[in-house]
Structure 1
């Protein structure tokens, strides 16, 4: 006689179920659903959960795996496994793909598109919430080169009233829910602040200024294209002290330069509101003493001179003349040897008389020649 033996399932193959289509930040519950056979309902079962083949919750009596605040990285292929306490019966569910949807998208934007020094710059953290989540309150923070420049607040904008070159950098923004359960950072945006005008340079005319010259100091700068009509103001300083306050003139004039006008000069340029201000490098300007006409004197102060005697001619210059001037001597309009302030004449014999007698002049540096002084040498006969 044939006997047919029929084995009943202790419990059905489990199925993965998720409470709803999860969005980042939601509390997500994954259930491992199975059914015990009639009359075996009291059998104890144990449940385990896996994501992408990796265990995320070991065997326990709970048939649920909860994620308090689901994140995008919680997306994946989930399975669950059910077993009896002894492990004599074990079954695994089919694979279920769970996709955590983004709560919001974020992007950094800057206005105006091209920012120039002094502009009011507005950086916006532009965010788009998912449908049916538009009323969710969000908080925003801003960073430059990784450093926080505006902490979390309800404003999605960071404003710089008067942008400066140092405001250039790599900007990001961060968005979070009030509890911080969902937090996202934007991609990096490089913002370059353009110069409104170049750093000024001090220029002086003439190149070499001498006492009495009309000296003109110019504060030279260049506005960037399309900003040429911007009004600028200029100020001038000598040795750190203001010598001409801010005005529309980029020149400082000294009608008759004096030695005390020498010094270290700088100039400063600004917009009328002072929102952009730049100072030049220092330029040292040296006023040279005027090369006035020298006067020739001689010692001993008598004439004539006889052979065997000596006389010293001196080229005397004004006290204001400065530096190593260099001297030149002339007799009867012709250059003669000698580049020192003093010239010694010492005829020895009567034949030297003709070569030493005459009208002497000197010149100090670039000065005019002195008035002639006559030196008379007698033969002694």
Structure 2
């Protein structure tokens, strides 16, 4: 019978600082009982080994993030005479604290609005209670360009937006004295321009239109956010409509069947925020093409 006298070696895993905030260095210490020296030390996070030196009982995680939160443990070896014994610590929970919540960008009154409307962009976040007295800096961006950099004010105001102000916006937040910065998800702003008065033209413009001729009526608004819905009228009665997406003219082709096809033709352009009507154009079956001069 062989009697083995073994010292009660066990491992204790500690982390510093406590609490640990994102951006700080997270230090893990694997200590044996009575500060017993260990070899082949391995640190684990959620059961997976970390890439730390096996010859040291300390592991450093530079610039901790929330993703470094998890269950940590360590394993080490100690020799007694000619035997190697392996010990494993109990798992501890490490929660990396956020300095501030990820920002969210909102648009007031709405991300979709008409030209000349006021717009306020608001970057919302909340600092950790232990960092509530620290200053936050806000930056606003559009399509990769900086609109406002490192301001203490979480809002950016545009008195009168134009169609060119449409695009993807986001904000970034940084905490005083820290390198950590966070970006909001992008927010699409759509500024709708009202339609201009459309121009109505008839083709062919040659004289001598008669029954059996094919006529094409074209309607186009030079300005206005798509999609634009064009409607065609003869003497106030609707003939048809056409939706244009890219600013092209809307066509309406028809065959002159009788003198009832003569009269005043108009068109109307309409988008999400406005509508406008063309001046009437008179089609005569006697071969004349007569734009009206009123309006």
- Structure 1 length as normaliser, TM-score? 0.52
Is the alpha carbon distance of 1:150 and 1:218 closer, same or farther for their aligned partners in structure 2, counting shifts above 3 Å? farther
Alignment partners' CA distance in 1, 2:32 and 2:132 = 37
Is the alpha carbon distance of 1:142 and 1:223 closer, same or farther for their aligned partners in structure 2, counting shifts above 3 Å? farther
Cα pair 1:172 1:189 within 8 Å, conserved:
no
**For residues 222-241 of structure 1, what are the structure 2 equivalents within 5 Å?**
222-223=126-127, 231-241=135-145
Which secondary structure does the structure 2 equivalent of 1:249 belong to? coil
In the alignment, which of 109, 113, 118 is matched to residue 14 of structure 2?
Answer: 109
Q: CA deviation at 1:327?
A: 0.7
- 2:180 corresponding residue in structure 1: 276
In the alignment, which of 326, 329, 353 is matched to residue 232 of structure 2?
Answer: 329
1:163 aligns with 2:68: no
- Structure 2: tracts of 5 or more residues without a match: 243-249, 288-295
1:296 aligns with 2:200: yes
> CA offsets, 1:175-210, max 9 Å, x none?
869xx9888553332312233434334444533245
Q: CA deviation at 1:317?
A: 1.0
1:190 aligns with 2:93: yes
Is the alpha carbon distance of 1:109 and 1:287 closer, same or farther for their aligned partners in structure 2, counting shifts above 3 Å? same
Structure ranking higher on relative contact order (CA contacts 8 Å, 6+ apart): 2
1:200 aligns with 2:103: yes
**For residues 48-87 of structure 1, what are the structure 2 equivalents within 5 Å?**
50-51=1-2, 75=4
> CA offsets, 1:256-314, max 9 Å, x none?
445554444443322223332223344555555542232334456699x9874886543
Alignment partners' CA distance in 2, 1:184 and 1:269 = 44
Cα pair 2:230 2:269 within 8 Å, conserved:
yes
Which moves more between the two structures, 199-208 or 371-380? 371-380
Q: CA deviation at 1:338?
A: 1.6
Cα pair 1:108 1:173 within 8 Å, conserved:
no
What RMSD, in angstroms, separates the aligned Cα atoms of the two structures? 4.6
Cα pair 1:266 1:279 within 8 Å, conserved:
yes
Cα pair 1:315 1:364 within 8 Å, conserved:
no
> CA offsets, 1:225-248, max 9 Å, x none?
665555332323334343332323
Which secondary structure does the structure 1 equivalent of 2:141 belong to? strand
- 2:74 corresponding residue in structure 1: 172
Q: CA deviation at 1:165?
A: 1.7
- Structure 1: tracts of 5 or more residues without a match: 1-49, 52-73, 76-98, 130-135
> CA offsets, 1:97-132, max 9 Å, x none?
xx4333x55422335554443456554545553xxx
**For residues 1-381 of structure 1, what are the structure 2 equivalents within 5 Å?**
50-51=1-2, 75=4, 99-102=5-8, 105-111=10-16, 113-118=18-23, 121-125=26-30, 128-129=33-34, 138=37, 143-145=43-45, 146-149=49-52, 152=55, 162-169=63-70, 170-172=72-74, 174=76, 185-205=88-108, 206-223=110-127, 231-298=135-202, 308=211, 313-318=217-222, 320-321=223-224, 323-330=226-233, 334=236, 336-340=238-242, 341-343=250-252, 349=258, 352=260, 357-358=263-264, 360-366=266-272, 367-373=274-280, 375=282
Q: Which structure dedicates a bigger proportion of its chain to strand?
A: 2
- Structure 2 length as normaliser, TM-score? 0.64
Is the alpha carbon distance of 1:349 and 1:328 closer, same or farther for their aligned partners in structure 2, counting shifts above 3 Å? closer
Cα pair 1:117 1:163 within 8 Å, conserved:
yes
